[in-house]
Amino acid sequence: MLPRTLTLAAVLAAHLAPPLAAQDRGGDQQSPQAQTTTIYSAARLILRAGDPVLTGDDARLAVRGGKVVAVGGEITPGMTQRARVSRFEGATIVPGFVAPHTDLGLGGDLAEPIDAFTPHLDAADAFNPFDDRLDELAKTGVTSAVLSPLSANTFGGRAALVRSGELAGQVVTRDCYLKMALVQESLDQQRYPTSRMGAADMIRSAFAEANSPLGVQTPEFAALRAVLDGSLGVAVHARTHAEITTTLDVLGPLGIDPVLLEAAEVDENLDRLTGTGVRVTLPGLRFDSPERLLELPAKLAEAKIPFAFMAPDGRWLRRSMALAVRHGLSRELALAAATSVPAEIAGADDHVGSLRVGRDADFAIFHGDPCDLTARLLAVRVAGRAVFDHADDETTDTGAAARGTEETR
């Protein structure tokens, strides 16, 4: 139940650090001044989507050793004197984005399709902390991502939450959720199940076996028992109305409230979901998405069903947020759909998705509101480490106000 944290990358990082040291302007936990406090000051600070926005002197965040150590009024003049101060005028600090389901381009390494029943597999085992993609994710504002088994199996395996950023790449937890799938690509004519009907039967029988006191004691069923005792969540890939309905029909009687992944047709099931613990991830919204999908976030909000956007990078997440706001969603819920809700879906909302004293300093700084596409991403910190700073460019007008000014006192 408790996440195990690996800091493998932190150890190896020291060897790789020199070429990147130049970029490392903000916080830094590897350098000799590792215990220096950095205070990030902006116009607005959002600790958690939906919380009151902190402004003025309250819009400050003190970071030391990769953790948030003080916020707003807690920052004493004494602290300020010893700290480095990074000022971002007119900017907004928000929690780093969390991607609720990615494959980080690992593809085939995340599926064992010969057998549809592999709930004991661990996506964390396929994780490559040196993957370039982690760096790319970080540069778009995504500070952690769920690495999930593919949808090739009915029971795919356990998903893991990993940190982004080239050197910060590490596994936060190996137990995000049990990945299951009812979509077409989970069915295979070469093995059971070959149909949605067969998949439903496999799910029912497997959980019945796990539920039986005399049931088989193998790692597969241990994973299912973790689900039944509530220590592991379930996320089911179910796009269509039919797939969603089957998921709810099969898991409902077992008392399992799944996360519905990429549930583009969930608008057909809204009544059934309201008031349950079911959460939803929506496919990332695009400029050419159908109107029905673009209107779905506002509908889910009205039905009080928590949802997250399932986009492979921060740019797409921002498009999703902005398009949802254009179609009637509040800015608070749009930000939640990229931060706190995916953190809850990953079962890691006590680690990521919001900023609190004592938590890792994962955040992004935008010039403007991240729900406006016009807002430029200025900086990203993963566990206090600078993974992205907007390059100083020659622009004078927008740049002057947008550029973070940095002083050491």
Partner 1 sequence: MPSFPRGTLLRGTFLAGLLAGLLGLTSASDLAAQRRPGGGGRRAQVTVLKVGTVHPVSGPAIENGVIVIRGSRIVAVGSADEIEVPEGANVIEHLEAHAYPGLVDPLSAAFADPEAVSAGRTDAGTPVADALDPFEERSRELAARGITTAYVSNRSDSPWRGLGALIRPGSDGFRDFPEKTEVAVQMRISAGGGRAHPLQRLQALENVGNEFEQLEAYEKAFEKAEEELKKYEEDFGKYLEWHRARKKDDGDAAKEEDKKDGEQASGEGEAKPEGETPEARPEGGRRGRGRRPPGEGGGGGTPPAGGGEGGRPEGGAQDPQRAGGGGRGGEGAATGGDAKAKGEEKAPERPKYPKTPDRDPSKDALIKVRDGDLALFIEAQQTDEVERALALLGEHGIGRAAIEIATGAHRAAPALRDAGIPVIVLDAAPAGENENVDRDGQDRSVAGVMAKAGVPVAFGSGSVARARHLPSIAAEAVAYGMDEDAAVRAITLTPAEILGVADRVGSLEAGKLADIVLTSAPILHSDARILSVLASGRPVGGSDSEDR
Report the alpha-carbon distance of residue 224 to residue 210 in Å, rounded: 6
**Closer Cβ to partner 1, 62 or 337, answer by number:** 337
Give the residues lining the site for partner 1 (CB under 8 A). Answer: 133, 136-137, 139-140, 287-290, 312-313, 315, 319, 321-323, 325-326, 331, 371-377, 391, 393-395, 397-398
Closest approach of partner 1 to the CB of residue 116, in Å? 31
The residue assigned the tokens 């921002």 is 318
Report the alpha-carbon distance of residue 281 to residue 338 in Å, rounded: 10
**Closer Cβ to partner 1, 158 or 367, answer by number:** 367
The residue among 110, 121, 153 whose CA lies nearest residue 220 is 121
**Closer Cβ to partner 1, 225 or 286, answer by number:** 286
Closest approach of partner 1 to the CB of residue 23, in Å? 11
Closest approach of partner 1 to the CB of residue 105, in Å? 10
**Closer Cβ to partner 1, 221 or 316, answer by number:** 316
Closest approach of partner 1 to the CB of residue 312, in Å? 8
Report the alpha-carbon distance of residue 45 to residue 365 in Å, rounded: 9
Buried b / exposed e along 267-289 (16+ C-beta atoms within 10 A): bebbeebeeeebbbbbbbbeeeb
Q: How many CB atoms lie within 10 A of CB 40?
A: 27
Angle at which helix 219-228 crosses helix 196-211, to 10 degrees, equals 90
Let me know if 292 is exposed, middle or buried by CB neighbors in 10 A (0-12, 13-18, 19+).
exposed
Closest approach of partner 1 to the CB of residue 284, in Å? 11
Closest approach of partner 1 to the CB of residue 118, in Å? 29
